[in-house]
Chain A
Amino acid sequence: MQRKGPQISSVDRPLPKGKSEVSLSAFAFLFSEIVQYHRTRASSIAELERRLEDAGTGVGVRMLEILSYREKGNRREIRLQGILQFINTNIWRCLFGKVADSLEVYNDDEYVISDRSPLVNRFISVPKDLGDLNCAAFVAGIIKGVLDIAGFPAEVSAYYAPVEGQIHPRTNFFMKFSPEVLDREARLGT
Chain B
Amino acid sequence: MSQDIDPLDLEWRNRAVLAQEAGVPPGVHSLWIINKSGGLVYHKTYADIPHIDVNETMRLASMWHAIHAMSIQISPVEGCTGIELLETDQFDLRCTQTPTGTKFFVTAAPKTLGLEHLLRSVYDLYSDYVMKNPFYEMEMPIRCELFDTNVLSAVRNHNAQLGNY
Contact = CB atoms under 8 A, between A and B. Distances in A.
Interface of A: 25, 28-29, 31-36, 39, 123-127, 130, 135, 167
Interface in B113-146: 128-129, 131-135, 143-146
Contacts, number: 39
Contacts of B129: 123, 125
A35 B144 CA distance: 16
B135 A130 contact: yes
Interface of B: 128-129, 131-135, 143-147, 149
Nearest to B147: A125
Most buried by A among B129, B132, B145: B132
B128 A124 contact: no
Contact of B134 (A25, A124, A167): A124
A125 B132 contact: no
9 contacts: A25-B132, A29-B132, A31-B134, A123-B132, A124-B132, A124-B133, A125-B129, A125-B143, A130-B135
Nearest to B135: A127
A32 B130 CA distance: 11
A24 B132 CA distance: 11
B22 to A, nearest CB: 37
Given A125-B129, A125-B135, 18 more contacts: A25-B132, A28-B132, A32-B133, A33-B134, A35-B135, A123-B129, A123-B132, A124-B132, A124-B135, A124-B146, A125-B133, A125-B144, A125-B145, A125-B146, A125-B147, A127-B135, A127-B143, A130-B135
Nearest to A124: B133
